[in-house]
């Protein structure tokens, strides 16, 4: 949990709900690789958290994945990111994971 709590400081505060610019997309990719990777594995193959590889997530509901990103999973180490990420950012992350961000 200390790693997770410390990682929150790498995320810039929420911005508008509008389209994501390339700078923010790069920040979000770094967030996934570093912060999510600390539990899901640096190659997204799994660790404390499940695999986030596209072959596992491709058929998942994108809105459902975004909801997990935003609200976490109670009773597990998966924290909520709502307050640090917008719904648009969470949906973008979910989509990128389904496409293969870990490449």
The model's pTM is 0.81
Q: Is 92 exposed, middle or buried (0-12, 13-18, 19+ CB in 10 A)?
A: buried
pLDDT score of 100 more than 50: yes
pLDDT, tens digit (0-9, with 9 covering 90-100), for 84-99: 999 999 999 999 999 9
Maximum alpha-carbon separation in the chain: 35
Q: Is 100 exposed, middle or buried (0-12, 13-18, 19+ CB in 10 A)?
A: middle
pLDDT score of 2 more than 90: no
pLDDT, tens digit (0-9, with 9 covering 90-100), for 28-55: 999 999 999 999 999 999 999 999 999 9
Dihedral (CA of 50, 56, 58, 63) sign? negative
What are the chain's domains?
A: 22-99 (1.10.760.10)
């Amino acid at each position: 949990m200390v790693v997770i709590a410390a990682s929150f400081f790498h995320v810039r505060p929420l911005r508008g709900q509008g389209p994501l610019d390339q700078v923010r997309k790069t920040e979000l990719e770094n967030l996934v690789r570093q912060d999510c990777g600390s539990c899901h594995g640096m190659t997204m193959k799994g660790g404390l958290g499940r695999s986030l590889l596209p072959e596992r997530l491709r058929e998942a509901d994108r809105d459902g994945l975004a909801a997990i990103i935003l609200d976490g999973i109670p009773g597990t180490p998966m924290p909520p990111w709502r307050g640090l990420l917008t719904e648009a950012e969470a949906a973008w992350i979910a989509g990128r994971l389904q496409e293969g961000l870990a490449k």
